[in-house]
Amino acid sequence: MASSKGRVCCLVLLALGALGIIITLVVILTQPKCDPKSYLHAAVAADTKICSDIGRDILQQGGSPVDAAIAALICTSVLNPQSMGLGGGVIFTIYNASTGMVEVINARETAPLHFSGDLLKHCPNPFNLGKKGVQWIGVPGELRGYEEAHKRHGRLTWKSLFEPTIKLLTPGVQIPVVLSQFLNHPNLTLNPGEWVQCACVWKGMKFALTENPLHLQMQL
């Protein structure tokens, strides 16, 4: 009788041991593995590696995801000004994983305060919104959007979000390939006065900047 009870105890212990091994293996094998393109905790993806790295560095310094996004966007406005910049607007979509809540900060461009609702009726060709020039510019909201997002969700100081891009600009930056292609596009006219952005940023130069030359934008 005692022998039978001993066998039962041994079988139970073996079963528990086997179950423990199985559970351990399942836990180990189902853990996510980080390959070069996946990240366990966080990632920053801007449209250039330089700006992505700036956002990553902000996270590593203890910044919030919003801090990282703002720093990466500031960098992008310098390296790819044809896509975005302080003269435009921004929309933040912020997801709080703890609460499941989604928050949207809309800082898109707006019409001037005293804008006339029938202004387009006085234009020679009111529906030609693709016409070159600055006729259709709105009041920028980009910087105010950054400020509001930082007030709500920032951890690092406001100036620390600009410092990486200031450091990048101090020795000058090379004109990226995409920006060079954009500036040299045959459909663009770079005569000062017609495309005011180029005349202002590059002090009225009558030729388009090309890829790689070192370019200083210290006024930014």
Residue 142 has pLDDT above 50, yes or no: yes
Helices (H) and strands (E) in the chain, counts: 7, 4
Q: 119 to each of 43, 125, 194, 213, how far by Cα in Å?
A: 45, 12, 21, 42
CB 109 within 8 A of CB 88: yes
Q: 37 to each of 40, 46, 56, 57, 67, how far by Cα in Å?
A: 10, 14, 14, 17, 22
pTM: 0.67
Residue with token string 């950054």 = 146
What pLDDT score does 174 carry?
77
Query: Which has more pLDDT, 210 or 58?
Result: 58
Residue 160 has pLDDT above 70, yes or no: yes
Query: What sign for the dihedral angle of Cα 85, 63, 47, 202?
Result: positive
The residues, any chain, with a CB within 8 Å of residue 184's CB and separated by 6 or more, are: 208, 210
User: Across residues 180-209, what is the average pLDDT?
Assistant: 53
Query: Which has more pLDDT, 211 or 115?
Result: 115
CB atoms within 10 A of CB 204: 12
Q: Which of 23-37, 74-88, 111-125, 165-179 has the lowest mean pLDDT?
A: 23-37
What pLDDT score does 181 carry?
75
Query: Which has more pLDDT, 63 or 127?
Result: 63
* CA neighbor of 81 nearest in space, from 13, 173, 170, 163: 173
What pLDDT score does 62 carry?
95
CB 84 within 8 A of CB 116: no
Cα distance between residue 201 and residue 19, in whole Å: 69
What pLDDT score does 197 carry?
42
Cα distance between residue 174 and residue 183, in whole Å: 14
Percent of the chain exceeding pLDDT 70 equals 59
Query: Which has more pLDDT, 32 or 168?
Result: 168
108 is in an annotated binding site: yes
